[in-house]
Chain A
Amino acid sequence: MTSIVDLDAEPPRLRGGTCRVCGLVFFPFQTYGCEQCGAYGDALQPSPLKGHGTVRATTVVHRHADPRRPAPFSVVQVDLDEGPMVRGVVAEGVELEVGASAQLVKVADAGDDELLAVRFTAPPKES
């Protein structure tokens, strides 16, 4: 699978894109075409996203068939600061309520599966 997370950055960044024609910021990066205006190829440029945003919805998954994601775990829907909506898994022991800030972090070395390595958590308190 194509890498969609830059795990070398701290905190990790999401590999998003920007449409040079209409300005839409999107995730994940692709050059198939812009969902908003249809521009494609070089009109779509890579644009790293900070992985920070606002929680719009959350739920606890009690049952899940895939043993790589043992239940229970929480998932959140996050509106990223740059615009795109993403859904991701919440770090163990963390509670993220609707309206709270969320930050994507690396929580584990999951070998070659970058998606198992990242979770959403509460950002460090601003001083």
Chain B
Amino acid sequence: MTKLLGDLEPVYVVGAGWHRYQRLSQVGYVDLGLTAVRGALDDAGLAWGDVDESFIGTGHLGMAVGRPMLKHLGALGKPLVHVENASASGSAAFRLGCVHVAAGISDVALVLGVDKPRSIYRAPTGTHGLADDAIVPFTHFSLLSGAYTAASGVTDEDLAQIAVKNHRNGSLNPNAHRQQERTLEEVLGGRRTAGSLTSLQCCPVGEGAAAVIVASAGAIARLGIDPAKAIRVASSATVTETTTSSDQEVTREVIARALHEAQTPPSEVDVFELHDAFTIEEAQYVEASGIAPPGKYVPMLKEGAFDIGGQCAVSTSGGLLAMGHPIGPTGVGQIGEIALQLRGSAGPRQHPGARVGLAHMVGLGAVGYAHVLRKD
């Protein structure tokens, strides 16, 4: 019989840290990563020697980049592994860290996402489509966007409001790549990429790092971690695309599994960080999650349901659209943001009374990840 995370020992997020997401710069990945790890250790009140094992999510950096970075915290001979799962690399690393702690293999694990952008290498499969070179990600999502707006009567202005909301949230986040509020006119007036998508409706892919520390209940007691900082990881789910499913079906399936495992109805989710690499995705995934009924995302958005302080705050961090999408860090940073929200430590971005958070990523493939976090 296979097991779910919830069948194992409880596991908690006890610390979070970042290096700001930003445009490609001269800062080396070692500096990016160490900044995030030291931030997470400080947040948890732990020393590097307390960490048993490290999981490093990265999409762009290449082979074996972890030890030349982490040795500067002290080369203590402890296990580390690199995790690559495209945009979901950080989410995949987080799941593995949680599973190892919940299974008792480690007591305390570091999950680090770190990346600097570069051109992507993928070995050829030996097969190809008719026009793979013409369908870049924004074109893929614009094709989905057109199908959604045609079916639902939603306008281009409606979808652009998603970027307005997420840039507003990002302006409150010192770790966000884009920290400037944007008006609807600015979003709509930007350079068009494909269809009605404009540049501010496409996420920035820059550099950065995010780290979280996960720990068992035993470690929290033994190491004297502040219990008020401990946020339970209530579930972890992952699926891959089938012959016929698309990003939206992958999302529907993986979120349904995570909510079911956490015994949480969609209506109980207070904060939701999702894979909004393009505006259309937020509309589709909030509906796929069940938090909005089919076709109701846009009317609810206009009523403020997804604002900080609304029914369910979506992408309080700014989301991929404003917080940014440096690949490896993205999924880890979502977990950190939700942990801050559930602790009540998110400062000007705080969603009042947040107790349940949902994190979601889709990686090329497509692979889907979802985690539910809960303040006990």
B126 within 8 Å of A by Cβ? Answer: yes
B residues near A73, Cβ cutoff 8 Å? 134
Q: Is the CB of A115 within 8 A of B126?
A: no
B120 within 8 Å of A by Cβ? Answer: no
Shortest C-beta distance, A1 to chain B (Å), equals 6
Cα(A98)–Cα(B145), bound, Å:
13
Q: List 14 A-B contacts (CB under 8 A).
A: A28-B129, A30-B127, A59-B143, A60-B195, A63-B192, A63-B193, A63-B194, A75-B134, A75-B139, A87-B131, A88-B130, A88-B131, A89-B130, A115-B130
Q: Is the CB of B127 within 8 A of A2?
A: yes
B171-207 contacts to A, CB under 8 A, are 191-195
Which of the four size classes fits the interface of chain A?
35 or more
A35 within 8 Å of B by Cβ? Answer: yes
B117-155 contacts to A, CB under 8 A, are 126-131, 133-136, 139, 142-147, 150
A126 within 8 Å of B by Cβ? Answer: no
| Beyond A69-B133, A69-B134, 5 extra complex contacts between A and B, CB < 8 Å | A59-B143, A59-B195, A61-B142, A89-B134, A115-B131
Given contacts A56-B147, A57-B146, A57-B147, contact A62 B192 (CB under 8 A): yes
| Contact string against A for B residues 234-246, beta-carbon threshold 8 Å, 1 for contact and 0 otherwise | 0000000001000
Cα(A118)–Cα(B147), bound, Å:
24
Which residues of A are at the interface with B, using a C-beta cutoff of 8 A?
Answer: 1-2, 4-5, 14, 24, 27-28, 30, 32, 35-36, 56-66, 68-69, 73, 75, 77, 86-89, 98, 104, 115, 118
Q: Is the CB of A59 within 8 A of B129?
A: no
Given contacts A59-B142, A63-B193, A75-B135, contact A30 B130 (CB under 8 A): no
Partner of A57, one of B133, B143, B191: B143
Q: Is the CB of B194 within 8 A of A62?
A: yes
| Contact string against A for B residues 146-166, beta-carbon threshold 8 Å, 1 for contact and 0 otherwise | 110010000000000000000
A residues near B191, Cβ cutoff 8 Å? 62-63
Q: Is the CB of B133 within 8 A of A4?
A: no
Partner of B193, one of A2, A36, A62, A68: A62
B residues near A68, Cβ cutoff 8 Å? 133
Q: Is the CB of B135 within 8 A of A87?
A: yes
Q: Is the CB of B129 within 8 A of A98?
A: no
B residues near A28, Cβ cutoff 8 Å? 127-129
Cα(A14)–Cα(B142), bound, Å:
25
| A28, A60, A62, A89: most-surrounded residue (chain B CB, <10 A) | A62
| B127, B145, B147, B192: most-surrounded residue (chain A CB, <10 A) | B127
Shortest C-beta distance, B159 to chain A (Å), equals 13
Chain A residue at smallest Cβ distance from B124? A1
B residues near A2, Cβ cutoff 8 Å? 126-128
B residues near A86, Cβ cutoff 8 Å? 129-130
| Smallest CB-CB A-B distances: 8 pairs | A59-B195, A59-B142, A62-B192, A57-B143, A88-B130, A57-B147, A35-B243, A61-B194
Chain A residue at smallest Cβ distance from B151? A98
Q: Is the CB of B128 within 8 A of A75?
A: no
Q: Is the CB of B133 within 8 A of A59?
A: no
Q: Is the CB of A61 within 8 A of B129?
A: no
Shortest C-beta distance, B176 to chain A (Å), equals 24
